Structure 1
Amino acid sequence: MHRGKGMKFVGDSRIPAEKKPNIPKDYSEYPGRTEAFWPNFLLKEWLVGAVFLIGFLVLTVVAPSPLEKMADPTDAGYIPLPDWYFLFLYQFLKYEFASGPYIVLGAFVIPGLAFGALLLAPFLDRGPGRRPFQRPIANALMLLGVAATIWLTWEAADHVDWEARAESGKIVETVEIDKEKPGYKIFKQNCASCHGGNLEGGNAGPALTETKKSVDEIKNIAKNGIGTMPAGQFKGSEEELQQLAEFIKSVSEKASE
């Protein structure tokens, strides 16, 4: 039975009497208001993405990542620091109410509530308006989160001695060291915690592979200290002190070859 203009009644549905191909609308009917996704819109997205990618690659060449030397478990003076996008959490864990016995509160509960509030913002403020003053709850949560992140990141970065950190973490040319020598065993017991297991230096002491001091000068420093190094660091006999000084001097001479 035919009912309606150009329609067929089939069961409880109505379908067109003639099957027509699914042809998209002619976008020229709406100039400046819309366009085809493929290829017009997607091509623009690709071009913008390519510009940002090239800019990012240029930055990586002009300002390379400040890589540090390999991790040394014997360097007791090294203070690990997270990447910049985690500095705000790093700073947050320094406060008394978020560290020590309250570490679970600072590491999981408070950050979870903060990020959860941002996720729930669209559901808490469901008004149809899109202007900032028409969505006070969502915008207030967003501004609070951004301000807290920026301030905590600034506080964390402001307390870091970046020059000293770069100096202690710089990559130095490694020198092959004979770790079976008696001098190295004495060095490991007395000096490795500050100067590194391979004499490469650390936060608490400079690299010894580049020292220009004589054997007697090295012995004097080991006993009496120098700069921030206090006296009495070496705990051994005169014979062991001589072996230590000769070992350090031999490594520095090998590094300068």
Structure 2
Amino acid sequence: MHKGKGMKFVGDSRISAERKPNVPKDYSEYPGRTEAFWPNFLLKEWLVGAVFLVGFLCLTLAHPSPLEGMADPTNSSYIPLPDWYFLFLYELLKYEFASGDFIIMGILVLPGIAFGALLIAPFLDNGPGRRPHQRPVAVGMMLLALASVIWLTYESASHVDWESRAEANKPIPPGEQVEIDTEDPGYAVYENSCMSCHGDDLQGGAAAPSLIGIDKSAEEIAQIAQEGIGSMPPGQFSGSDEELQQLTDFIVSVNEEQSE
């Protein structure tokens, strides 16, 4: 081949030689059926999300969630409850067909069927329509699931006195120090009989609950010291009646100062 002769330029006909501006398509001829993702659709999603977020924040400010104290593995009388978004499953396990001998039905089979049905709903009802009445299967399954969750959550929450529960298990505010009178004769009794489990500041630990913030009379405290409660066996206190009186008066006085 001679230089400058026999050379050919080959172009790809699939690539347009004209540059077109990157603008959204005109959907005006399909009103109400489709729209540009940016900014029309995305802006609507952001607005709806912002409304729900502001409403949720206002609700948490108006009705703050009652907090409880730290978990105490030694308290056998405490009944744990799941967070609110799992209360419907907690309520489901109270029914005979989902508890006892049928517990597998309640913890695996029924939730699996429910969530599996929601996952396959789009494939069962894959029509072109977008309005609710044009998607009866998907909409019906979603409404059934939503109604079930709301009803079970309401049934579970309505049987719990949340304020009393929070009051009975209220935590001690962080950083709040309760002054302990180590000169009190009851403190010496406490040191010999109770400190090894309940700690030198009465705050408790892994082996025993806190003695701060309890709502018990001196008689109840004396009975617990002698007869035990929960995982605390009887016979933990072996002192005299006078020492027992000094111990109960000391614990009561500490709690009275803390409540003030």
Same fold (TM over 0.5): yes
User: Separation in 1 of the partners of 2:37 and 2:148?
Assistant: 41
- In structure 1, the partner of 2:22 is 23
Partner AA of 1:24 in structure 2 = V
Q: Which runs of 5+ in 1 are unaligned?
A: 1-7
Deviation at 1:108, TM superposition (A): 1.6
Partner AA of 2:23 in structure 1 = P
> Counterparts in 2 of 1:1-257, with a 5 A limit?
10=11, 13-16=13-16, 18-24=17-23, 37=38, 49-50=49-50, 52-172=52-172, 175=178, 181-184=191-194, 197-200=209-212, 206-208=214-216, 213=218, 217=219, 235=235, 239=239, 242-255=242-255, 256=257
CA contact (8 A) 1:35 1:41 kept: yes
Q: TM-score under structure 2 normalisation?
A: 0.64
Q: Secondary structure at the match of 2:168?
A: helix
Q: 1:218 to 1:89 in 2, by over 3 A?
A: closer
Deviation at 1:251, TM superposition (A): 2.8
Partner AA of 2:103 in structure 1 = I
Partner AA of 1:114 in structure 2 = A
Q: TM-score under structure 1 normalisation?
A: 0.65
Q: Deviations over 1:87-145 (max 9, x none)?
A: 11001112233223432321122101110001111111122233434332222211221
User: Separation in 2 of the partners of 1:108 and 1:156?
Assistant: 20
User: Separation in 2 of the partners of 1:107 and 1:76?
Assistant: 24
User: Separation in 2 of the partners of 1:41 and 1:111?
Assistant: 33
Bigger drift between 56-65 and 122-131 goes to 56-65
Q: 1:218 to 1:100 in 2, by over 3 A?
A: closer
CA contact (8 A) 2:93 2:103 kept: yes
How many pairs does the alignment contain? 224
Q: 1:19 to 1:47 in 2, by over 3 A?
A: same
Q: Deviations over 1:157-215 (max 9, x none)?
A: 12223343122122346747779723326997xxx9xxx722246xxxx534xx5x5xx
Q: Which runs of 5+ in 2 are unaligned?
A: 1-8, 181-186, 199-203
Identity of aligned residues (%): 47
User: Separation in 1 of the partners of 2:138 and 2:153?
Assistant: 23
CA contact (8 A) 2:114 2:145 kept: yes
User: Separation in 2 of the partners of 1:36 and 1:100?
Assistant: 51
Q: 1:55 to 1:110 in 2, by over 3 A?
A: closer
